């Protein structure tokens, strides 16, 4: 029986403040070896505690534009005045090695990736309420009121496209949410269309039992 299987591309989007980063990191901790997280490049300034190469690759606009020109990005988008993009090589290598790769990206990028990889699974993560969203954004204490208002305005626009995602997951409790995301991905992996190699293998082994050839 063949064991090699290509990983699934999992795209997690959600309003800024939905807790995507926290949930995704909880998934990495709880299920070691099942997921690889893509680290994006961005032109935004690091928040306190963020590390280059861990949270993001923090780059200048010039460097980002060179990455675009050199075809190094799988997708990119401009969000609240900054560029964000997914380095292509890491994603392709890890999927080929059989890992499920998680992209934590905003909508424009999510839909671009879905076009290039129709099998990608699109998950939209939301806090339990908009009051809670505002509380989380203000609780960060790292952003000005103007930026918070911009992020809420952006959320209002993003809410228009939620139906284009495959799944809606509510982040009311980090650990519970991480487990339900993992279960969701596990059941997606059982879809026949993700298991063509195995199906072909079963057929090949049964071929000589056929009475009709």
Summarize as ranges the residues that interact with ligand 5GP (CB under 6 A).
16, 20, 40, 44, 75-77, 79, 84-86, 104-106, 108-109
Closest approach of ligand 5GP to the CB of residue 89, in Å: 14
Closest CB to ligand 5GP among 159 and 204?
Answer: 159
Alpha helices in 49-106 (DSSP H): 61-69, 88-96
Q: Which is nearer to ligand 5GP, 16 or 171 (CB)?
A: 16
Q: How far is the CB of 108 from ligand 5GP (least distance, A)?
A: 6
Tell me whether residue 8 or residue 74 sits nearer to ligand 5GP (CB atom): 74
At 85, list the tokens.
Answer: 């993009």
Q: How far is the CB of 77 from ligand 5GP (least distance, A)?
A: 4
Identify the three-state secondary structure at position 37. strand
Q: Which residue, among 17, 60, 21, 59, has the nearest Cα to 38 in the 3D structure?
A: 21
Contact call for residues 133 and 18 (beta carbons, < 8 A): yes
Name the phi and psi angles at 100, rounded to 5.
-80, 125
Residue among 111 and 194 whose Cβ is closer to ligand 5GP: 111
Shortest Cβ 213–ligand 5GP spacing (Å): 50
DSSP assignment of 130-176:
HHHHHHHHHHT--S-HHHHHHHHHHHHHHGGGGGGSSEEEE-SSHHH
Q: Give min distance, CB of 16 to ligand 5GP, in A.
A: 5
Contact 89, 72 (CB under 8 A): yes
- Residue 56 DSSP label: B
Q: Which is nearer to ligand 5GP, 84 or 124 (CB)?
A: 84
**Alpha-carbon dihedral sign for residues 142, 145, 147, 153:** positive
Name the minimum Å distance from CB 98 to ligand 5GP. 22
Distance between CA atoms of residues 64 and 94, nearest Å: 23
By beta-carbon proximity to ligand 5GP, the closer residue of 82 and 196 is: 82
Which residue has its beta carbon closest to ligand 5GP? 109
């Amino acid at each position: 029986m063949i064991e090699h299987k290509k990983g699934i591309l999992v795209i997690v989007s959600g309003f800024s403040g939905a807790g995507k980063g926290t949930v995704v990191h909880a998934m990495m901790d709880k299920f070691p070896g099942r997921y690889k997280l893509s680290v994006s490049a961005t032109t935004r300034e690091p928040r306190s505690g963020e590390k280059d190469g861990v949270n993001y690759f923090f780059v200048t606009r010039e460097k980002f534009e060179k990455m675009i020109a050199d075809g190094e990005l799988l997708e990119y988008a401009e969000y609240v005045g900054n560029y964000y993009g997914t380095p292509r090589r890491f994603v392709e290598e890890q999927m080929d090695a059989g890992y499920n790769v998680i992209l934590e990206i905003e909508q424009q990028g999510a839909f671009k990736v879905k076009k290039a990889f129709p099998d990608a699974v699109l998950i939209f993560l939301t806090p339990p309420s908009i009051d809670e969203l505002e509380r989380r954004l203000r609780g960060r204490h790292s952003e000005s009121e103007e930026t918070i208002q911009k992020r809420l305005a952006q959320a209002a626009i993003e809410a228009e496209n939620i139906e284009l995602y495959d799944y809606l997951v509510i982040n009311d409790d980090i650990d519970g949410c991480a487990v339900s995301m993992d279960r969701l991905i596990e059941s997606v992996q059982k879809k026949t269309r993700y298991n063509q190699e195995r199906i072909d293998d079963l057929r090949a082994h049964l071929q000589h039992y056929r009475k009709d050839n």
